[in-house]
Amino acid sequence: MRFARIWFLAAVLALSVPPARAETALLNVSYDPTREFYKEFNTAFAAHWKRAGGDAVRVTMSHGGSGRQSRAVIDGLEADVVTLALGYDIDAIADIRKSLPADWQTRQPNASAPYTSTIVFLVRKGNPKGIRDWGDLAKPGIGVITPNPKTSGGARWNFLAAWAWAEDSFARDDAKVRDYMAALFRNVPVLDTGARGATTTFVRRGLGDVLLSWENEAYLAQQELGRDQFEIVVPSMSILAQPPVALIDANADKHGTRKVAEAYLDYLYAPEGQRLAAKHFYRPIHPEFADPADARRFPKLKLVTLQERFGDWRATQARFFTDGAIFDQIFAKR
Amino acid sequence: MFARAASPRVIPGFGPTLGFTLAYLSLVVLLPLAMIPLKALGLSGAEVLAIVTDARTLHAIGLSFGAALAAAAVNAVLGTLLAWVLVRYDFPARRLVDALIDLPFALPTAVAGISLAALYAPNGWIGERLAPLGLKVAYTPLGIVVALIFVGLPFVVRTVEPVLEALDAEVEEAAATLGASWFAGFRRVVLPLIGPAVLTGFAMALARGIGEYGSVIFIAGNLPMVSEIAPLLIAIRLEEYNDAAAAMIALLMLAAAFALLLTINLLQAWARRRIGG
Amino acid sequence: MRIDIVNAVKTFKGSERPAINGIDMTVGDGELVALLGPSGSGKTTLLRAIAGLETLEAGEIRFDGVNVAGRDTRDRNVGFVFQHYALFRTMTVLDNVGFGLSVRPRASRPSKAEIRARARELIRLVQLEGYEERFPAQLSGGQRQRVALARALAIDPAVLLLDEPFGALDAKVRKDLRRWLRELHDRTGHTTLFVTHDQEEALELADRVAVINAGRLEQIAPPAELYARPATPFVCEFLGSVNRLATPAGAVYVRAHEIELVPPGTPEARAAIVVAVRAAGPRVHVELELAEGGRVEAELLAEDFAATGFTAGSAVGAAIRRTHAF
Amino acid sequence: MTLLAPRRSPLVGESATTRRVLLALALAAIGLFLLLPLATVFAEALSKGWGAYFEGLADPDARAAIRLTLLVAAISVAVNFAFGIAAAWAVTKFDFPGKSLLVTFIDLPFSVSPVIAGLIYVLLFGAHGLIGPWLIAHGVEVIFAVPGIVLATVFVTLPFVARELIPTMEMLGRGDEEVARTLGASGWQIFFRVTLPNVKWAALYGVLLCNARAMGEFGAVSVVSGHLRGQTDTMPLHIEILYNEYNFVAAFAVASLLALMALFTLALKSALEAVTENPGR
């Protein structure tokens, strides 16, 4: 089998070429709607790091549904930092992979969320169905587009925002809240696996009357896909979505990148990081660093936080989103 | 040289080729696939029962099978028609059409899914023509069938073509001399001869359809209990860090796929014996 | 080269009856021997066993006294011509014929030019000059047959084995090739074994004929002896058209042309009635109903039959010149 | 009826109308299920003109994806070609018990869901997998790196060459190899001089299909890739990324490139068939 052996050798040779790692390489594993923001932020950080006397730094990005990304890090994707949609996905990395401490969220200011966002409605131009608030979403004949809370971080924020509004509106009557949620999900014709997929379905495929979306995603969609075709509707209340960031200690130490990775995360809180976040429609935690024109774009609305309403992510996940929990119950009742 | 005397091997290379085949197959296919039952073994009997009787799981598996079955059935008819036309008739661009048949093998499934969704969505080129008829394709189970028809189309065509090509014209002529009409000649003489090939293609399209993921998720709608396919459910279970449940569903699908393929191979062996393929 | 086959036995997997069941025979150096038998009698299996394409479960095959059991087909130096020729369809006639030389180990491989020259020589021998660059698909059956033979001869085999060499050819080509093969054999002197189910072919072509039935050797003898003195009822019945007569002493066999038609009442002749007369070219077959019971067929020249003046319905005497009893 | 002449003696009693109806149906099906999706890809890719189209292809990440795809396809084709030859030789030239089972195992990757194909490699090589921890401890990256992508692609495309060769070699029988043996040829000589020339078109067809599928595989590769831009993104994954960045023109431009490669492959295959149909090749 001389021939086969040659092929085999060739395959081994080809396989053993290590993936190119530049002098200083950082891997940031993130979720879907942060693509544009981190593209610009990485360039800014590289310049900053160089000015500060560091090596040339190249940040590689990996984007995908927040849950899938978390899973990949657990399975061995060697992220130096993760910037995901919700705390639970980083909790899972800490719990299962144990590659960062369980109290990771206390290591950075504002529960490790350098920017926040919220959930708003994107409707078609002129808002033909007259959708103003969460209550309208459960009305018959309204098509609601949201991704699947099982696979999308944004969709979980959508769900919790609707739930919080319903609790307030129905005086915390659990049965009524559930009825409302069931009615809302009856209006959902498609459950995309990620926020981007849902946006595409709504915008490109013309499906549904309203898209439940990250605020930043709604602005971006409007900007990228047609300001004259879509309008943003701000509901009476929503949830403060806090997409957290964290250093994956085990990987950073293995790569010897802890210093630069920590600087990377710190830079998110720095004036330049905050300015870029605002530019990309994320609400900066230090609005004073944002371009005033950017800051003015964020409407004021009543925002509840996860902590005050639902507790931490581990509890919230168990209550609502694990197999057989409230989301599954509501969907079964649909 | 006992082994040699027991089974004469005139042509050399039995040991090396079979050895390489088995080693390669074990390393690339069997060992990795063994992870599925291995992982599913971690479940207790009650957990297994809970998974395999869960309404949503059953619906997803049922949908994957049902849609694949429907698509394979359509492909059996469509594929036979295409094979017939390609083998029997000469028309402009015949070669081009013949080459196009393999496109679904080659086009990335995700691209196919996006294109099909774009075409069949309510505002798509085909979708907007079907909408007035009250027919919704994209984001319904029907959309899944359409995607699976695309994915499985080559199988029946490619299994039936060579059989039709090799078909003895005298057999058809004999039928005609016995007074058979065109349709009777096709149904009574041609169809039984190409039957095993059609069935093989059907089963292959079915086996492929059950597991298809990339092209389906873009057009399916993915609603649990409505348009959620089994592979998507596996992906969801994985993101819930529930590997054992994912492996259990995968095991059910693997078993089904293996049973189907074994049936195909036995069917082919049987057909060879019966009509000397 | 001499070939000894000693008590050869071979049973195929899944079959209860041995395909060859204890065959003993010898093929002398330079001899041309036919293996004759009905289909399924085991003759092809025996031929393949000699080539090493099948392995015996018992018994030995010896080339010049040496047991070749462990010897690979490749090293037996046999020229094998398959029933359907098995020409390499992707090679020209020249490449087909030269193949055996071109795959020799480098040390003993002739140069390219020598191989081509030798192949051309053989192509001339089988009278196919001008066809060197043709592909097998472009040849007639008889031409393919000759290419297969040339290809087998190219390796200068110690023994030539031919499996139904004329089986797939029409009657005219068969006859021509048969004569040509005999001449070729006389010229080259290869020890040759060929398989056939055609008795005429075997009797006309071979030095000796081995009759095989149900995996056993019935008889091996020169054609004339085989015909004159068949050793078993099977051999007798297989060669020519034969009548079986029941006598008090047991069955006897009478060849059709050994029955003479004489006027009724002739002594030593049996009384009979002509039932039917069938003309077959220069000969006629006359079907007789014997007075003692039973039917026999006589065969004689058409002109001889005309001279007797008998027709269907005539009462005649059937004089039996010779019987074979076992 | 030159337009619709039967290629071979038509089924007796088949009228020209029947032929026309059947052909129309067939072409309609081709148009609806094959041509339209293909046309959509090109229409989207060129919706902003040629400039935008080539801009989409010139992006460094797109080029990295193209390079990676070509590398992965080349390795997959090479190893699966070797495997296909060995498997077809073993299966068609010899009889042994369990052959049907072996052929079924060879077919298995056809019908294993891509999600499962990815999953098994995660379960095997992942940080919590069977041998993943050992590999990671020894600094070997398999999953979320090029080797993982290659493995998943090799798995998915494993049957193609074998699947083409087995029926062809089955049909050709063992006669040619036996003759070659009596003429003194060695195993390699038989393979290269006799068998390979007999099955070269089938082998090439298998290689082409294997290659096309290797370049287009999405589901399985998606699971094991890690989606590192410019590092572990193959063309199909890059298409998804571009699509998710609302960069539809670039997404479909890359997709059209894959479609073009596929079409080129298929045209090549078709040309090969034209060659093989000629007598006396």
Query: For A46-81, what is each residue's pLDDT tens digit?
Result: 999 999 888 899 999 999 888 889 999 999 899 999
| Residues of chain B positioned with their CB less than 8 A from the CB of C9 | none
**Region of poorest pLDDT, from A18-22, B38-42, D57-61:** A18-22
Asked if chain A contacts chain D via 3 or more Cβ pairs within 8 Å, the reply is yes
CA distance B231 to B217: 9
Q: How far is C139 from chain D (nearest CA, A)?
A: 10
Per-residue model confidence (pLDDT) at position B274:
65
Contacts of D246 in chain A (CB under 8 A): 200, 220-221, 224-225
Compute the count of residue pairs across chains B and C with CB atoms less than 8 Å apart.
13
Asked if the model's pLDDT at residue C322 lies above 90, the reply is no
Phi then psi dihedrals of residue B210, to 5 deg? -60, -35
Strand partners for A117: A241
Candidate from A11, A64, A224 with C-beta closest to D75: A11
pLDDT for res D279? 38
Contact call for D189 and C152, based on CB within 8 A = no
* Residue from A303, A302, A269, A305 nearest A287 by CA: A269
Contacts of D91 in chain B (CB under 8 A): 21
- Partner-chain contact A62 D132, CB within 8 Å: no
- The nearest CA of chain D is from the CA of C149 a distance in Å of 12
Question: How many C-beta atoms lie closer than 10 Å to residue C236's C-beta?
Answer: 24
- Scanning B6-25 for CB atoms below 8 A from C yields 8, 10
CB within 8 Å: C75 and D189: no
In a mutagenesis test of the C interface, which of B4, B7, B9, B10 is the best target, namely the one with the most C β-carbons within 10 Å?
B10
Min Cα separation D173/chain A (Å): 23
CB pair distance less than 8 Å for D246 and A221: yes
pLDDT over threshold 70, residue B7: no
Residue recorded with tokens 């492996």? B247
- Contact in structure between D39 and D31 (CB atoms under 8 Å): no
Domains and CATH numbers, chain B: 43-276 (1.10.3720.10)
d(C-alpha A133, C-alpha C129), whole Å: 96
Give the residue from chain A lying closest to D230, CA to CA. A60
Torsion (CA) B143, B145, B147, B148 in degrees, nearest 10: 160
Q: Are A65 and A194 in contact (CB under 8 A)?
A: yes
Percent of chain D exceeding pLDDT 90 equals 33
> Out of A147-156, B1-10, B222-231, which region has the weakest mean confidence (pLDDT)?
B1-10
Indicate if the pLDDT at residue B206 is higher than 80: yes
pLDDT at B23: 95
Angle formed by the axes of helices A195-203 and D235-244, nearest 10°? 70
Can you tell me whether residue C254 is helix, strand or coil? strand
What's the pLDDT at A2? 42
Overall average pLDDT of the A120-132 stretch: 95
CATH hierarchy code of domain A116-241+301-333? 3.40.190.10
A252: three-class secondary structure by DSSP: helix
Q: Which of B28, B77, B95, B102 is the best mutation test for D, with the most CBs of D within 10 A?
A: B102
B66 vs chain D: nearest CA distance in angstroms? 16
Amino acid occupying residue C100: G
Nearest to A189 among B221, B241, B242 (CB): B221
Residue ranges covered by each domain of chain A: 20-113+243-269, 116-241+301-333
| CB contact (8 A) between residue C103 and residue D186 | yes
- Number of CB atoms found within 10 A of residue C83's CB: 16
Averaged pLDDT, C92-114: 91
Nearest chain A residue to B238 by CA distance is A71
- The predicted pLDDT at position C214 comes to 92
Measured between alpha carbons, how far apart are the two ends of chain D, in Å?
A: 30
The pLDDT assigned to B275 comes to 58
Instruction: Average the pLDDT over C301-305 and give the result.
Output: 88
Measured between its terminal Cα atoms, the distance across chain C in Å is: 35
Which of C30-44, C74-88, C305-319 has the largest mean confidence? Answer: C30-44
Residues of A in contact with D86 (CB under 8 A): 1, 4
* C86, C137, C138 member nearest D179 (Cβ): C86
Tens digit of pLDDT for each residue in A223-242? 887 778 999 999 999 999 99
pLDDT in tens, A264-283: 999 999 999 999 999 999 99
Per-residue pLDDT band at A4 (split at 50, 70, 90): very low
Q: Which residues pair with C81 in a beta bridge?
A: C162
* In chain D, residues 47-76 whose CB comes closer than 8 Å to chain B: none
Q: Which CATH class is domain A20-113+243-269?
A: alpha beta
Q: What is the pLDDT of residues C184-231, one digit of tens each?
A: 899 888 999 999 988 888 998 999 999 999 999 999 999 999 988 899
User: Phi/psi zone of residue C170: left (φ > 0), alpha (ψ -120 to 50 degrees), beta?
Assistant: beta
Helices then strands, counting H and E runs in chain D, come out as 15, 1
| Predicted confidence band of residue D10 (pLDDT cuts 50, 70, 90) | low
pLDDT in tens, A81-92: 999 999 999 999
Q: Once rounded to an integer, what is the mean pLDDT over residues C19-29?
A: 94
Most confident option among A44-53, D14-23, D259-268: A44-53
pLDDT at B1 exceeding the cut of 60 = no
D229 touching chain A per CB within 8 A: yes
Q: Cβ(D25)–Cβ(B97) under 8 Å?
A: no
Quick: pLDDT tens for D130-176: 888 898 888 888 889 999 999 999 999 999 999 889 988 988 888 89
- When mean pLDDT is compared across A2-11, A56-65, B57-66, B239-248, the lowest value belongs to A2-11
- At A121, is the pLDDT very low, low, confident or very high (cuts 50, 70, 90)? very high
The two three-digit tokens of residue D271, written as one number: 């040309």
**Residue that has been written with the tokens 């609005």 in this structure:** A287
Strand, helix or coil for residue C193: strand
Q: Domain D50-277 - what CATH class? A: mainly alpha
Q: Distance between CA C48 and CA C161 in Å, rounded?
A: 9
Q: Do B10 and C70 touch (CB under 8 A)?
A: no
**A130: distance to nearest CA of chain D, Å?**
27
A19: confidence class by pLDDT, cuts 50, 70, 90: very low
Distance, CA of A190 to chain centre: 20
Asked if residue D189 has pLDDT above 70, the reply is yes
Domains A20-113+243-269 and A116-241+301-333 share a fold: yes
Q: Does A35 touch chain D (CB under 8 A)?
A: yes
C310 φ, ψ (degrees, to nearest 5): -75, 150
Is D212 within 8 Å of B102 when comparing Cβ atoms?
yes
Domains and CATH numbers, chain C: 3-234 (3.40.50.300), 243-325 (2.40.50.140)
Confidence of residue A108 (pLDDT cuts 50, 70, 90): very high
Is D178 in contact with C53 (Cβ distance < 8 A)? yes
pTM tops 0.90: no
- Which whole number is the average pLDDT over B134-140? 89
Contact B10 C52 (CB under 8 A): yes
Residue carrying structure tokens 């509901």: A235
What is the H or E stretch that residue C152 is in? helix C141-154
Position B174 scores a pLDDT of 67
Residue-wise pLDDT tens digits, C247-282:
777 788 888 888 888 888 888 888 899 999 998 888
The ranges assigned to domains in chain D are 17-46, 50-277
Residue D224 to chain A, least CA–CA distance (Å): 8
Contacts of B235 (CB under 8 A, 6+ apart): A68, A151, A193, B213, B246, D115
